[in-house]
Structure 1
Amino acid sequence: MKPQSRLGITLSIVSAGILSAGAAAAQDKVSFILNWVTAGEHAAVYYADHAGWFEEAGLDVSIEQGKGSAVAAQRVGVGAAEMGIADLGTSMVARGAGADIVAVMNIYANSPYQMYWLAESGMEDLDDFPGHKFGNPPGDAARAMWPALAGANDMSPDDITWVNIAPNAKVSALASGAIDGTTFFANYHHVMANAFGDDLRWFAWSEKGVNPYGNSIIANGEFLEENRDVVGRMVEVLQRSHRYCVENGEECVGVLSDYASGITVENEQANWDVTTRLMSDEFSTTKGLGYFDPGRIASDYELVSKYFDIASPFDPETIYTNEFIDPEITMIEIGN
């Protein structure tokens, strides 16, 4: 081979740089809002970014901190974020109010909702809640779905008073007596248990007859219609990363501190461990991780319609799609 001149080498380097810049410019940008602040439950999302899987799929994903499923559903619904994570029941309520939302992958096949209070409050169970103050951020998914739990147990949603608190103030507000109770997802149980020990009282909503689909990946409807390939690649990466992190939890949780300050690996590992249990059901283990069962969707819509004023009723078949779910990537069976 004839030796290249310096000019030729320089041109080659410049050309390579142009090609590299062109490849970078070809990345499809996706804004992705979380349901909550960064925690163990989001390990698979951050691991996909850390491992370069988004980039390999031609995606430039910006991850936005969340303030509750209601906020995430609203932002995705109006196109302020193209995709995100939100509780499915909350997303149905938002859809009925005009939010342009389609769920494209399920994460929590089981409801994560749990109620928490202290023994010193005098409350022993749900029947003792009336007249007490419960604190949550306005956009919290469980707060939004409270009317369903109340209705399923012959209570009025107005039997308790909701107090607005910051997302990270649940423990301090309960400890100070500013509120009598709160809600938390099951994968944050360790936070409450560590703070209150034997004084803590709680129950899972599933024990009281309410077990709808929980957190799911949602997309703005218009964005989905115009960018099906992009959404498909997002789901492909997220399905892959969630499955990988189920068996490699420590590795995935370990990257969180690169993205958020104040992360305690032990706590977030506990969070992720419970998340994996929430992901496992008869459909995710056989039809594909992230699969929505049409029968359950219909039941969830019936639940939401019964206890919420759906301003614009819709066909529940239009709130979700399984078209991007790879049936070869299944969840493993994990007992509760």
Structure 2
Amino acid sequence: MKPIKLLSILIIGLASMAAATPSSSADKVSFALNWVPYGLHLGPYVAEAKGFYEENGIEIEIFRGFGSGDTTKRVGTGGADFGMADASSVIIGYSKGLPVKMVAMVLDKSSDAIYYLKDSGIESVKDLPGRTLGAAAGEASLNLMSAFGQGAGIDVSKIKVVNMTPPAKIPSLIAGSVDSIVTFVTEEPTILEAAKAAGKSIGKFMFADFGVDRYAMTILANDSLIETNPDLVKRVLDATMRGYAWARDNPAEAVELFAKKFPESSSELVASQFEITLDLMITDLAKAHGLGYIDEEKMAKTIDLIGSFTTFEKDVKPEDVYTISYLPKIPASGK
């Protein structure tokens, strides 16, 4: 083989390898979810699939979480660079000394809900005392039960809480082992599908309907990362929020991208979960200020609400637990 031809082949081969391999100069970033991947998480997965992170010089690693409290600890202790967790977990984590801060809001509206079996005899919220409620110990929605009770005018101490792991809640409800469960409304499609298969009818009580309005799912980062590498925070948020915007504008295609990565998932369920996510994400605040926006007054009210059922180990002010200095301006309404 002639030297010139061999050289040409080598150059083409090296170019192909370079194109297929992430740039060595790309920043490696770990992103912990709050739970197993589902419709709520289309934003980061679409951003990964569409190359938004790569465009921003980021080599992303997204992995499942084990609850908001665990994700907050991971980010606070350096086990993950970024995470998705419930705002209450971030606020409580900060009060316990974890150096974490919210940098974008995903769910601007409270997503807490109680789902119940209609054949259990529960017809109104007044029927909950004396009934059983499946919940994971320490979960955000369970912690808000006292506030829910105040708004609903019921004594929640008379509700019999049955502690269980998060994966056991829906099967326990459908089997009738408990009369009700507390969870996020983004789980509703999964609950309704399981109920339909079992021939059961399900009802729900939204906490927001009883005066519990708070910030819910958020994106957080470690304070040290924010201080030492603010440009990276900007690039990660830009890619992630563009992922949510693209999924908003192209929901069917977004679900297809998710299904390619998780072929065992139900596209119908993921689509329904994302539809609920958008309803909780695109609020009047988001329409006025853009996706991910965090309002100081609403954050102060959220802190007060969380403080009503837990004792903070140190004073918590809005500026302690959030910043929107690195948030891109992406309109809430798309095409």
TM-score, length-scaled by structure 2 = 0.89
Partner residue in 2 for 1:330: 331
Which digits, 9 at most, give the CA deviation of each residue in 1:56-83, with x for residues without a partner? Answer: 1111111111222222222212221111
Partner residue in 1 for 2:93: 94
> Aligned partners of 2:219 and 2:305: how far apart in 1?
20
> Counterparts in 2 of 1:244-263, with a 5 A limit?
244-263=246-265
- Tell me which amino acid in the other structure corresponds to 1:330: P
> Aligned partners of 1:155 and 1:62: how far apart in 2?
45
Structure 1 residues 60 and 111: CA distance shift in structure 2, 3 A: same
Which digits, 9 at most, give the CA deviation of each residue in 1:90-118, with x for residues without a partner? Answer: 22122212222111111111111110111
Cα displacement (A) at 1:23: 6.5
User: SS at the partner of 2:285?
Assistant: coil
Cα displacement (A) at 1:308: 1.3
Counterpart among 278, 281, 305 of residue 279 in structure 1: 281
Partner residue in 2 for 1:69: 68
User: Does the Cα contact within 8 Å between 2:85 and 2:217 map onto a contact in 1?
Assistant: yes
Counterpart among 284, 289, 292 of residue 291 in structure 2: 289
> Counterparts in 2 of 1:151-230, with a 5 A limit?
151-153=150-152, 158-196=157-195, 199-230=201-232
User: SS at the partner of 2:110?
Assistant: coil
- Tell me which amino acid in the other structure corresponds to 1:233: R
Cα displacement (A) at 1:36: 1.6
Q: Is 1:106 aligned to residue 112 of structure 2?
A: no
- Tell me which amino acid in the other structure corresponds to 1:332: S
Which digits, 9 at most, give the CA deviation of each residue in 1:204-235, with x for residues without a partner? Answer: 11011101011111111122212211111000
User: SS at the partner of 1:311?
Assistant: coil
Q: Is 1:55 aligned to residue 57 of structure 2?
A: no
Structure 1 residues 274 and 306: CA distance shift in structure 2, 3 A: same
- Tell me which amino acid in the other structure corresponds to 2:42: A
- Tell me which amino acid in the other structure corresponds to 2:69: A
User: SS at the partner of 1:62?
Assistant: strand
User: SS at the partner of 1:104?
Assistant: strand
Which digits, 9 at most, give the CA deviation of each residue in 1:20-62, with x for residues without a partner? Answer: 7996221111111111211111112111111111111111111
> Aligned partners of 2:156 and 2:316: how far apart in 1?
24
Over the matched positions of the two proteins, sequence identity in percent amounts to: 28
Gaps of 5+ in 1: none
Structure 1 residues 155 and 69: CA distance shift in structure 2, 3 A: farther
User: SS at the partner of 1:283?
Assistant: helix
User: Does the Cα contact within 8 Å between 1:70 and 1:144 map onto a contact in 2?
Assistant: no
User: SS at the partner of 2:66?
Assistant: coil
Structure 1 residues 291 and 117: CA distance shift in structure 2, 3 A: same
Q: Is 1:134 aligned to residue 136 of structure 2?
A: no
> Aligned partners of 2:3 and 2:154: how far apart in 1?
82
User: SS at the partner of 1:91?
Assistant: helix
Partner residue in 2 for 1:243: 245
> Aligned partners of 1:222 and 1:216: how far apart in 2?
18
User: SS at the partner of 1:317?
Assistant: helix
User: SS at the partner of 2:182?
Assistant: strand
Higher mean C-alpha displacement, 139-148 vs 62-71: 139-148
Gaps of 5+ in 2: none
Structure 1 residues 126 and 90: CA distance shift in structure 2, 3 A: farther
User: Does the Cα contact within 8 Å between 1:133 and 1:162 map onto a contact in 2?
Assistant: yes
> Aligned partners of 2:18 and 2:132: how far apart in 1?
60
Which digits, 9 at most, give the CA deviation of each residue in 1:295-315, with x for residues without a partner? Answer: 111111111112211111222
User: SS at the partner of 1:213?
Assistant: coil
**Number of residues paired by the alignment?**
330
- Tell me which amino acid in the other structure corresponds to 2:75: V
Partner residue in 2 for 1:320: 322
Structure 1 residues 167 and 255: CA distance shift in structure 2, 3 A: farther
> Aligned partners of 1:192 and 1:15: how far apart in 2?
51
User: Does the Cα contact within 8 Å between 1:68 and 1:141 map onto a contact in 2?
Assistant: no
> Aligned partners of 1:51 and 1:22: how far apart in 2?
16
> Aligned partners of 1:77 and 1:158: how far apart in 2?
33
